[in-house]
Amino acid sequence: MIKNITQEDFGTLAICAIRYCHGRQTYMPGLVQRIVRSHLTELEDRDLAVLLQDCEWMSDFDYGDPQIDRSGWMRWHEDLKKEKERREKEK
């Protein structure tokens, strides 16, 4: 278990890792999405907004290869939108 990482640093690492995975046709996008997904509630609002903005950009390109990437990125995008909606309901 990793300890002593700030929320800000975690958000930065999550954004960098997800961006690295854009366009990768390997196991890496699914792996990184799974790790970050398990900690979505720990992201700051601004980091969630950046990840959502990146997904909007990706959707312009149909989320990548239909055989390899699309379903995982679409599911990732939906999970981010659900987290944003959950936070808005809490306010």
Question: What rounded mean pLDDT belongs to the chain?
Answer: 91
Instruction: Name the H helices within 1-91.
Output: 7-21, 28-37, 45-59, 70-90
Confidence check: pLDDT of 1 > 70: no
* Interhelix angle 45-59/70-90, nearest 10 degrees: 140
- 17 belongs to a structural domain: yes
Amino acid at 5: I
Domain of residue 12, residue span? 7-90
Q: What is the pTM of this model?
A: 0.90
Q: What average pLDDT does the segment 23-39 reach? A: 93
Confidence check: pLDDT of 15 > 90: yes
> CA angle 10-16-21, nearest 5°?
125
Total count of domains within the chain: 1
Confidence check: pLDDT of 2 > 80: no
Q: Is 1 helix (H, G, I), strand (E, B) or coil?
A: coil
Q: Considering only residues 65 and 50, tell me which one the structure prediction assigns the higher pLDDT.
A: 50
- 22 belongs to a structural domain: yes
